[in-house]
Structure 1
Amino acid sequence: MPLQEEFEQQGNFLFKHRSYIPILILLASFIIYTINIRDGKDPFGNGIIYLSLGVSIIGLLIRIYTVGHSPANTSGRNTAAGQVADTLNQQGIYSIVRHPLYLGNFLMYLGFALLPMSIFFVIIFCLLFWIYYERIMFAEEQFLRGKFNTMYLNWALKTPAFIPNFSLFNSTEIHFSWKKILKKEKNGLAALFFIFWIFYILRNYLMGKVILDYSFWTLAMVICILLYFILKIIKQNTNWLDEAER
């Protein structure tokens, strides 16, 4: 099979199974984290935890900004069934980077990868992320190229794939939708603080401290999990979060 078709086939396969990469990253992070905690390294006892949380939150905010300004069925917000794009996003954050959602994912995962305090692990994570998502981005762009042709090519020629060029920013006319954020990104917020809390209680267990306490991490996790279930119930039983063409 020619490489172009092979990359596209691999990308479509990985796209449908893209939820597995965070699981693998977390498993590796927990293993290395456990080893380093036993060696006396404590990210919760120094500035690493704030760096990790900050990086992950920046990633989540990028996703929130992207999703909040996107209409329904546009490039960049696809489903497990395959690629979906009625229009090509070119304004707002899509005017400075072609794959802002994957940039957001990268930063969210990078925050977790920083917690084991291993430069080697961070480098390996970055390489694996790039190999994994490069195929997915390639498949998406093949789909967009086939559907939008010259419009896509003109946009792709001037807009970087992954590292934003802020000088290209062009504001969007699509208003920010908090309803869409509450409906679409509740999972990311809950998962972020739940995972940091898991790291926190694992650290307490390994260091012989009180496992469950009233720390910021426990309170933040409880609030975010409660918010997740409240929004899930609202979504399933009402139309409060529905918005036309969003």
Structure 2
Amino acid sequence: MSARIPETVAELAGEAPVELVWRNELGGLTYRVEAGGSVRYIKWQQAGDLAADERDDVDLLLESEKMRWAGRFIRVPRVLGVGADEHGSWLVTEGIEATPAVDPRWRSRPEDAVRAIATGLRRMHDALPVDTCPYRATWSTKYRAELPEAEHLVVCHGDPCMPNTLMDREGQFAGHVDLARLGVGDRWSDLAIATYSISWDINLGRNYDDLFLSTYGVEPDEERIRAYLALWDAPARDVSHGSAVPIIGE
């Protein structure tokens, strides 16, 4: 194993091969571990001084709670283990037989990827119960004064960028990953960022808003779209959107 692999990750992997599949600028790493025909993912976040918003995005203990809660209603990776020590924190999940919507195979079928992302968000928004959700979306609590009144409250993904939607072999929606920001908020906080992410050069590189919104089943709300895009692009929120591409699945 490479010396660059954190000691805790190496211990969790045992003798199985370890492949780095994702990295963020906050010290977060995700490894793919395959052994005996099964796949696990190990997220590792090194300890360090982070701003409050940054800590929210990489709190693996809280993310594990959110995954277990959401997993009662929708398909997300099953949590196998979680922990922390003075060096950092880790989250181990079971792999889903799927690939992210940014996988090269879907670049030749971009409409399928767009439909899968929209379908996945609609299923999440319809399935997760707002009244009993114990979590609140970050923007709903910290930036309330800058936002229009919510059009329709749902349990939001919180980071609905293309890599966080999984697709099965047939090109259908298969599950969600990276739920650290999950919580109750305006559904447009998800819809605005999902469509924005699709258009980035690192993803599909063009606008598919009409297809996305028609698949989801809603007319565009330009006021709310502008509001959430402005917050996303604000320097205070300029964290990991689009700077790294996870390759989750098989």
Same fold (TM over 0.5): no
User: Could you state the TM-score of these two structures normalised by the residue count of structure 2?
Assistant: 0.28
Higher normalized strand content (fraction of residues): 2
Higher normalized helix content (fraction of residues): 1
Higher relative contact order (CA 8 A, sep 6+): 1
User: Could you state the TM-score of these two structures normalised by the residue count of structure 1?
Assistant: 0.28
